[in-house]
Amino acid sequence: MAKLKLLLLALVAVLTAGATNPDPVFAQDERAVLKVGVPSRPPGLGNPYSSLPLGVINPTHTLFDALTNIGDNGEMLPGLALSWAPDGETGWVFQLRPGVVFSNGEPFTAQTVADVLAFLGSPEASGYPVGTETTMIQGADVIDDLTVRIVTNGPDAILPRRMSFVYMVPMTYWQEVGADGFGLEPVGSGPFKVQDWGQTTGRYVYERNPSSWRSSVHFDELQFTAIGDVISRSQAMVSGQIDLSFKLSLDLLEDLDARGFKTLARNTYSVGTWAFRQIDPDSPVADTRVRRAMNLAINRDAIAEAILTGVSRPVSQVATEDVFGYNPDIPLYPFDPEQARALLRDAGYPNGLSLKAIVRSDPSVPESTLINQVIQQNLRAVGIDVEMNAIPGTRWLTMYFSGDWEGGHMLEASFNNSIHGDVIRSLETASCKKAGAFFCDEDMLARIEESNRTLDPDRREAILKELVADLHDDPPGIYLFPYFDTLAYRPTLGELPMTGMKIDLERMTERQ
């Protein structure tokens, strides 16, 4: 194991060295190759549990399959499971897709599901984001090869949605090679498999998986080039080094559009925020009046027009319009500096106060850096002096999941409903249920649990809307804007085939 870890460290060093200045010249053959620009490599390489499957281009989605998928407007779609139904108060029975095999030839069965869920519930997986997101699962019972009953700690109306981000792997192989070994040589049932992590080319390469049940329509190979800088990614598009890229800034997207590239900017199900560490009773942000004052201090309309060019509009709740549980009756927080100052005086801060905010140095949206600077200025104008510390995403993840913000009163984050299409994830994030909770209301927790027990969709939606309204009046963060995905691709590619928030790279084609 020690040798394997040293090998992993050496490989990561090689990968990092090749990521910033990729060689524009590479050998071509007759294989159909799609060249994709990404901001970085997957955090755990081929380990599907080391990060959540977010982003419109998600390389992990091409290697692995989950039991379910989330489609447009939150529609539930089959994956490795063809159907599912509740069974008693704490069970869901899933009927699995027959004939699925992993890329090493091992069959996918109900035992695979049971093994994966047993691992995610073990201490070994407690540090993985996917393990943290599945703590409600108690285990799984194998009924037959293609039928499995998943058991939860309590009633859970949206367990099928939660299973959309739990990718299946052959756990026998996982145990043989360990997490690090699996990251280097992953085995999945997706349309592609890893050919090379880039130690010779500076790119990581996936090749067609001929045994996959959802085989690639046109492309034999995917070449991912990790380019952290958005300007360099745009230049790589212009030079023909890459065919498709995402997470481009809006001004660069406009430039690429003028050059004839196909472009797209669209909102996700994720709401950007500066989350408050309200759970600390000695913090100024433990006072609802302070939290409301900070929401009133932000000139969202000016940010939307000047920085976001109207692509993303302000929100004042933990859900976007297409998410189940969105409450259309909630008003936006107005820009009202005078009312903000009045609330601060009522809270005992007539001369203002000083706070510390933790923001990301590698934000999810390129414009976030500018937005954060405007927020800091807006807060200073009402008497709140904010020390803003930028940290990398790896350190941010530790803070987010541990709850230790190293003295920070606020943390740049999001209320992310993208992996569920349901507001329950944001509600649980802003509650006592979250590991490392930053916001806790015991009364709200009881109603969250009630929503999880409620199978009737109309009744459940009414409960969720009430909870969303309460979190407007008692805000767990500064509500900002929906995150948005930006894409650019060469015009000779076919239309983008998408399932929900993700591009299905295996369905990409060339124009005829």
Mapping DSSP onto H, E and C, the string for 276-341 reads ECCCCCCCHHHCHHHHHHHHHCCCHHHHHHHCCCCCCCCCCCCCCCCCECCCCCCCCCCCCHHHHH
pLDDT mean over 20-44: 68
Query: What is the reported pLDDT for 9?
Result: 36
* Residue 493 DSSP label: B
Residues 6 or more apart from 16 whose CB is under 8 A from it? none
Q: How do residues 56-80 score in pLDDT, each as one tens digit?
A: 888 889 999 999 998 887 788 999 9
Predicted confidence at residue 29, as pLDDT, reads 53
Nearest to 299 by CA among 117, 98, 480, 44: 480
Task: Write down the pTM of the prediction.
Answer: 0.80
Structure confidence at residue 273 (pLDDT):
95
Average pLDDT score over residue span 2-26: 37
Predicted confidence (pLDDT) at residue 366 exceeds the cutoff of 90: no
Residue 26 has pLDDT above 60, yes or no: no
* Distance in angstroms (rounded) separating the CA atoms of residues 313 and 304: 6
For residue 5, what pLDDT is reported?
A: 37
Average pLDDT of span 220-235? 89
How far, in Å, CA of 487 to CA of 261, rounded? Answer: 10
What 8-state DSSP symbol labels residue 495? P
Q: Which of 64-68, 198-202, 495-499 has the highest mean pLDDT?
A: 64-68
**Helical residues (DSSP H) of 83-192, grouped into ranges:** 110-120, 129-132, 159-162, 171-184
- pLDDT on residue 177: 94
Cβ count within 10 A of residue 165: 25
Mean pLDDT over the full length of the chain: 88
Supply the pLDDT for residue 56.
80
For the ranges 12-21, 64-73, 346-355, the maximum mean pLDDT occurs at 346-355
DSSP state at residue 508: -
pLDDT for res 258: 92
- Let me know if 335 is exposed, middle or buried by CB neighbors in 10 A (0-12, 13-18, 19+): middle
Q: What is the reported pLDDT for 19?
A: 38
Region 314-335 average pLDDT: 93
pLDDT in tens, 248-277: 888 898 999 999 999 988 888 889 999 999
Residue with tokens 């394997």: 4
Note the pLDDT tens digit of each residue in 415-466.
988 778 899 989 988 998 888 899 998 888 889 989 988 888 899 999 999 9
Query: Do residues 429 and 269 lie in contact, with contact meaning Cβ atoms separated by under 8 Å?
Result: no
Position 16 scores a pLDDT of: 37
What's the 3-state SS for 6-71? HHHHHHHHHHHHHHCCCCCCCCCCCCCEEEEEECCCCCCCCCCCCCCCCCCCCHHHHHCCECEEEC
Q: Which residue has the higher pLDDT, 82 or 443?
A: 82
In the block, tokens 């976030």 appear at: 368
Mean pLDDT, rounded, for 111-118: 96
The stretch 374-392 carries a mean pLDDT of 96
Nearest by Cα to 26 from 209, 200, 261:
200
* H or E segment and range at residue 469: helix 457-473
Q: Which pLDDT value is given to residue 17?
A: 38
Residue 309 or residue 145, greater confidence = 145
Residue 227 has what pLDDT? 84
Query: What span, in angstroms and rounded, lies between the C-alpha atoms of 190 and 179?
Result: 19
**How far, in Å, CA of 52 to CA of 419, rounded?**
8
pLDDT number for residue 442? 87
Burial pattern 412-443, b for ≥16 Cβ within 10 A else e, equals bbbbbbbbbbbbbbbbbbbbebbeebbbebee
